[in-house]
Amino acid sequence: MIASNATNQYMRNKILTASPAELTLMLYDGCIKFCNIAIRDIQSKNLSGAHTNIMKAERIINEFRSTLNHKYPVAKDFDNVYIYLERRMVEANIAKDPEILSECVEHLRTMRDTWVEVMKSQGGAASKR
C-alpha cells in the first residue's frame, strides 16, 4: 500500500511538472502501452480487458485531436492520422483483432519517435524508452 501511494505521488508530480512537450510524449507512451496491453488481453481471451484498454487508447487519440492548433496547416494532416487511428481502434475493438492494434502501435511509435526528435531539436528533454 505504501509503495503504491509513493508511486502514485511520483507519477502525479511527474505529470504536474512536465512541459507540454513532455506531456505529449507521455500520452504517446500511454497510448502505445494501452494498445499493447489490449493485444495481450485479446490473445489471452480477456475481452473485457481488451475493450477497456482500447477505450483508454481511443481517449488519448481524442485528446490529441482536441488539442490540435488548426491555425497551422499541418494540424489537418495530424487530424487525418488521428481519425484513421481512431477508426482502426474501433474496428479492432469490434473484431477483437490484435493485428489491427499492432498496426496502430506501429503508427504511434513512428509518431512518438518523430516527437522525440522534435524535442531534441528544440532542446527539450526526451525520455528513454
Domain-located, residue 6: no
C-alpha cell at 104: 496502430
Q: At 36, which CATH number?
A: 1.20.120.340
> Which amino acid does the sequence have at 119?
M
- The verdict on residue 88 lying in a domain is yes
- The structural domain count of the chain equals 1
Please check whether residue 2 lies inside any domain of the structure. no
The string of pLDDT tens digits covering residues 56-106 is 999 999 999 999 999 999 999 999 999 999 999 999 999 999 999 999 999
Asked if residue 68 lies in contact with residue 75, where contact means CB atoms within 8 angstroms, the answer is yes
In a domain, 11, yes or no: no
φ, ψ for residue 45, nearest 5 deg: 65, 25
Q: What is the pLDDT of residue 3?
A: 72
- Residue 128 in any domain: the answer is no
- CA atoms of 32 and 96, how far apart (whole Å): 17
| pTM of the complete model | 0.85
Range of the domain at 60: 20-121
Residue-wise pLDDT for 10-37, tens only, equals: 666 767 778 989 999 999 999 999 999 9
What is the rounded distance in angstroms from the CA atom of residue 75 to the CA atom of residue 56? 23
Q: Is residue 115 part of a domain?
A: yes
User: Sign of dihedral through CA atoms 26, 14, 56, 34?
Assistant: positive
pLDDT band, residue 128 (cuts 50/70/90) = very low
In a domain, 94, yes or no: yes
